[in-house]
């Protein structure tokens, strides 16, 4: 029977370095290879071995061997003219396999689009990844949105409604472990971020959703609700957001938050085979 990892939801490179000593089942070579792939940011098309070594803290000689291996497997592509690497089709294949295997996305999409259309907001589904949330699906309304993020976009966990909802949905032990790692990750900025998270957890306990009003982007306000699956083993989160000029606290509390809660209830129903029609989110 597979053994549950003893160091889940890592938030930074120091975590897996520590894990190599703390967990005898931790494979450092594999972790280093994955860190090479993760070193490519959203705007990075090409990176050389030196840049990868600097970003990951892995010795350049080791990076050279890892990039050769990843290139042979199709996860990187070497560009001779530039003497640098770019992500290969193997990474794209893994991403699409993850999305295809995530049945929640397909079930949630029509409900998300209905909510986006009726509120003229952006509605997204995301999952936690270290200190960030990653969008796995997005539905856009036609309203005056400040940010039009796409699938694969990454947003900070502590200051967004989606991230706060994700934290609120975690089992207590996992939440405490994650907060401890976020503390290390954010350093001196952590006390203020922790206060915001604690306020969000109290708000969630009272209302069943989280909010963010300009905490990440001063022009954006949103609400977020977690989707807790398998007794907390798998936690996702939805958000619904738009211009903070339009989405005031009153609108968030009287409309957006409750509608997002209803969306989650519909997805939970569909996951258990309820099979009723998509709800009309008309105002």
> Between these two residues, 144 and 16, which has the higher pLDDT value?
144
Is the confidence at residue 112, as pLDDT, over 80?
yes
Band (pLDDT 50/70/90 cuts) for residue 278 is: very low
Q: Tell me the average pLDDT of the chain.
A: 87
Per-residue pLDDT, 1:
42
Is the confidence at residue 131, as pLDDT, over 60?
yes
Is the confidence at residue 55, as pLDDT, over 60?
yes
Q: What would the pLDDT profile of 159-213 be if each residue is shown by its tens digit?
A: 999 999 999 999 999 999 999 999 999 999 999 999 999 999 999 999 999 999 9
Taking the model in full, what pTM does it have?
0.76
Q: What is the DSSP string of the chain?
A: -PPPPSS-S--SHHHHHHHHHH-TT--HHHHHHHHHHHT--TT-S-B-HHHHHHHH---HHHHHHHHHHHHHTTSEEEETTTTEEEE-HHHHHHHHHHHHH-HHHHHHHHHHHHHHHHHTSEEEEEEEETTEEEEEEEEE-SS--S----TT-EEESTTSHHHHHHHHHS-HHHHHHHHHHHHHHHGGGHHHHHHHHHHHHHHHHHHSSEEEESSSSTTEEEEEEEEEEGGGTEEEEEEEEEETTTS-HHHIIIIIHHHHHHHHHHHHHHHTT--PPPPP---
């Amino acid at each position: 029977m597979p053994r549950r990892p003893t160091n889940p939801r890592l938030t930074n490179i120091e975590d897996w370095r520590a894990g190599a000593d703390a967990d005898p089942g931790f494979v450092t070579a594999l972790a280093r290879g994955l860190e090479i792939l993760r070193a490519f940011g959203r705007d990075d098309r090409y990176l050389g071995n030196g840049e990868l070594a600097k970003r990951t803290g892995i010795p350049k000689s080791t990076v050279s061997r890892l990039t050769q291996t990843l290139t042979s497997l199709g996860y990187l592509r070497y560009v001779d003219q530039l003497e640098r690497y770019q992500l290969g089709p193997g990474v794209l294949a893994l991403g699409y396999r993850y999305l295809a295997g995530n049945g929640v996305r397909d079930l949630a999409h029509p409900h998300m689009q209905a909510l986006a259309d009726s509120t003229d907001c952006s509605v997204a589904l995301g999952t936690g990844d270290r200190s960030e949330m990653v969008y796995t699906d997005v539905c856009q309304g036609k309203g005056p949105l400040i940010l039009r993020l796409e699938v694969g976009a990454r947003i900070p966990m502590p200051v967004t409604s989606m991230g706060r909802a994700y934290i609120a949905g975690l089992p207590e032990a996992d939440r405490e472990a994650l907060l401890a790692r976020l503390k290390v990750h954010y350093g001196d900025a952590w006390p203020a971020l922790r206060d915001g998270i604690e306020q969000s957890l109290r708000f969630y306990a009272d209302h069943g959703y989280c909010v963010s009003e300009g905490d990440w982007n001063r022009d954006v306000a949103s609400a977020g609700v977690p989707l807790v699956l398998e007794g907390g083993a798998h936690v996702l989160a939805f958000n619904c957001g738009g211009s903070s000029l339009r989405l005031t606290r009153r609108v968030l509390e009287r409309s957006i938050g409750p509608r997002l809660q209803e969306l989650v209830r519909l997805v939970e129903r569909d996951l258990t085979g309820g099979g009723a029609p998509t709800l009309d989110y008309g105002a």
